[in-house]
Amino acid sequence: MAKPFMLTLIRHAKTKSNVERRYLGWTDEAILQQCLPLIDQELPLVYGSDLKRCQQTAAAYFPHATYRAITDFRESNFGDFEGCTYEDLQFRPQYRNWIDAPMYRAPPNGETLVQLIARVRRGLRNITESSHATILLHGGSLRAVLIQFSPQLSDFWQWQIEHDEQYKLRWSSFQAFKEGQRCISLSVEPLMVKDDI
């Protein structure tokens, strides 16, 4: 009989650009808080983006875990809009063109959401744990997983991804996950420090 499979998704801790509401894609910016709560001392392996903000968050939350960095889990590539705010860009025609249809239009020198989703899907092929896997992601790459696997069809922007929550997706088996089936349940929970640590 197949065992259930659970995937836990966590967004990295905040960076200066997150606080300033700047587009932060492939820039390798550090997190602001180095003193984050310890979530799980026993977790042996954590997956995540190869960018510093995910690696630093994982080191704080799961200090004894091996970190497996996967480039395909990076945030969306914002191209020429990287580091800018809405106020910086709001009157540029190229920006208006992009935000009107980001699924199929890319920022100059950036990528579309369709490209982001395909890239994250490719990254998920690296998951080998057959009962539970944890991934540290960015807001965009986390949304890319949710729209592919949430129990019901959803829109990319429907998900409000916070820095202090975790998303737990469950399948009837690891095979169901690997086949790309939608999960059978999804819960959003606050990140909690383990009581027994």
pLDDT single digits (tens) 65-122: 999 999 999 999 999 999 999 999 999 999 999 999 999 999 999 999 999 999 999 9
Residue 197 has pLDDT above 50, yes or no: no
Question: pTM for the complete prediction?
Answer: 0.92
Please say if the pLDDT value at position 34 is more than 80. no
Residue 177: pLDDT band (50, 70, 90) is: very high
Calculate the CA 68 to chain-centre distance: 14
Residue predicted with more confidence, 40 or 84: 84
Contact 106, 115 (CB under 8 A): yes
Going from the N-terminus, what domains does the chain have, and what CATH number goes with each? Answer: 6-138+151-190 (3.40.50.1240)
Q: What is the pLDDT of residue 41?
A: 82
